[in-house]
A and B are shown apart, each in its own frame.
Chain A
Amino acid sequence: MVRELMVEDRSFSERPTCLGEIGPAPKVDRETVRLAHVAALGNARATRDLIRLVQPRVQAVIRIVLGSGCSDVEDVAQQAIIAFIQALAGFRGECEPSRFAARIAVRIAMAHRRRIRASLRRRDDLVDPDDVPSYSSASGLSILAERRRALVRELLEELPEEQSESLALRIILGWTLDEVSVTTGAPINTVRSRLRLAKEALRRRIEADPALSEMLQPEQDEP
């Protein structure tokens, strides 16, 4: 699975980009980009330092995409870090290495979710125990907020890959359209279009189920 993803990622990164169509690039720390390039050459120390740099973000992203109840976080985090190291050869330095790693983590985590979903379908199970939101573990966090997050995660499994990646980078990681465009190498209007389609799917989900409208309600503000 890791190999498949990386082949895909390399082909993506090698795709020629039309810089004129992409919005202004976010500020990039040249030192960390240089570190990534040195690591890509096989330097052990640089690779270790780079992993230290990106590890917290990768773990956090994977926890968020998989959900707090998933027991595979550690394994998926390993896969993501390995995939990141493998993909460094194709890293162009147009964004922070941690962003690059976060994007890979999102893709690996989404692929994992899809695989689990497919596996459950084959076994004809009704409920994945890992997928049940763990409200009790989300101490201090709103149950409604967790339900909204769960809806987004479910949607990520159902959408086409490009749309779900754009939606994840936008909503889960909170990136701007320009940042999504630069990191994915897609023109900004393509990103906009993918997000529009993803939002239409989201709208259909909300409209199809009146109970979901409750998720649109924010917590009651204190007086």
Chain B
Amino acid sequence: MSIVEIHPEDLIDKELRGELSSVELARLEAHVASCSTCGFERLTRVDFRDQLESEMRRSRAGSLDVFKVSPRPIRVFSSRRTRVAVLVLAAAIVMSVAAAAFPSVRQTFRSLSMLSESTSRGSPPARGGFSRRQPGDMFAKASRGEVTLLASTEFLRDAGGFPARECIDVGSRVPASTQGTSVPEHRAVVHNAGVVSDGPSVLFARASAALRRHDYSIASSLFNDLQTRFARSVEARASHVVLGRLALDRGDAERAFGLFQDFLIDGTGPLVEEATVGRARALEMLGRTNDEASAWSVVVSEFPDSPHAAHARTRLEALGVR
């Protein structure tokens, strides 16, 4: 597995919940800049979240009455086949008594016997009052034994036609901060960028949005602007790592090394790991083997549990460093 295939799924989750800090956002941007699948997942999850919200509203509004069945009176016999059989049996008893007394009734008795026989052989019964495209079809099949259902026949009658708007939703995945709006939060930040003051977080968000559009020149320009105007801000520090990853992916190892090195001079936080690994990869691309070995050694010693540690050890072995 290569380094870029370790996907920061937890960061995408946090971003969708609106809990992503600017440092974490920088980490995510750095990964997404080079990982097409995570970029796709990030966009598509927002798409599906919006659609799920929309469909849930539609379902609650009752536009799709899946369980509406045709109204019909409650009958003593739940199955048409049973009803026919009982009626035929009752008629047969009456006719037997009558036949004993009146020979003219015998012909009618024979006809009824034939009807009873054909019913017991399993000729297809009528659909029992359910129209074709209604969910009663499935429940009817269930009651005929074609589909096993745990609920009783009484339930099947009661299940029809309850108002969908009374349905309760549980376990909604929509964060409270975004309910009632279809604008994803990370886009809303960008949307507000022109209204809110042009602070470091706004600049960072605009640059990140440009990165998502693969508009690298604008992203670089905004990140450079951020570093010039707000050099001491957290966002400006983080932007060194994002730009470093970008430069690395575009093959500009010299610039990438400079950016990672700048960050690592006094960098803190979770981006240190990214920057340390990035620096080592830049040195690898530059062919500075001694420096590269030192850089990978730092990765192994400082971040032994990192997903990059295995790659670091492999490189150290390849470079002949124990």
Residue positions of A touching B, CB distance < 8 A: 2-3, 29, 32, 39-40, 42, 44, 47-48, 51-53, 55-57, 59-61, 63-64, 73-75, 77-79, 81-82, 85-86, 88-89, 96-99, 140-142, 145-146, 148-149, 151-152, 170-177, 192, 195-196, 199-200, 202-203, 206-207, 213, 215-223
CB atoms of A216 and B40 under 8 A apart: yes
The 18 sampled A-B contact pairs (Cβ below 8 Å) are A47-B155, A52-B166, A55-B67, A56-B56, A56-B59, A60-B58, A74-B64, A75-B133, A82-B147, A85-B149, A85-B150, A85-B151, A89-B150, A98-B169, A149-B47, A171-B44, A195-B9, A196-B7
Q: How far is the CB of B82 from chain A (nearest CB, A)?
A: 20
Is the beta-carbon distance between B191 and A222 smaller than 8 angstroms?
Answer: yes
Interface flag for B197 (CB, 8 Å): no
- Range of interface residues on chain B? 35 or more
- Is B187 among interface residues, defined by CB-CB distance under 8 A? yes
Contacting residues of chain B (50-83) with chain A, CB-CB under 8 angstroms: 50-52, 54-56, 58-60, 64, 66-67
**Cα distance A149–B135 in the bound complex, in angstroms:** 28
Q: What secondary structure prevails in chain B residues at the interface with A? A: helix
Minimum CB–CB distance for A37 against chain B, Å: 12
Residues of chain B whose beta carbon lies under 8 Å from any beta carbon of chain A: 5, 7, 9-10, 13, 16, 36-41, 43-45, 47-52, 54-56, 58-60, 64, 66-67, 133, 135, 137-139, 142, 147-152, 154-155, 158-159, 162, 164, 166-171, 173, 182, 187, 190-191, 194, 209, 212-214
A173 to B159, CA, bound (A): 27
Q: Are A56 and B213 in contact (CB under 8 A)?
A: no
- B168 cross-chain contacts in A, Cβ below 8 A: 52-53
**Given A29-B170, A77-B64, A174-B45, A48 and B158 contact (CB-CB distance below 8 Å):** yes
Give complex CA distance A86, B64 in Å: 22
Complex Cα distance A221/B49, Å? 19
From residue A50, how far is it (CB to closest CB) to chain B in Å? 10
> A59–B191 contact, CB under 8 A?
no
The reply to whether B155 and A56 contact each other, CB–CB distance below 8 Å, is no
Are A42 and B59 in contact, with the CB atoms below 8 A?
no
Cα(A82)–Cα(B148), bound, Å: 9
Query: 11 new A-B pairs (CB below 8 Å) besides A59-B66, A60-B59, A149-B48?
Result: A3-B147, A42-B151, A53-B168, A78-B138, A98-B171, A170-B9, A174-B16, A174-B49, A200-B5, A216-B40, A216-B43
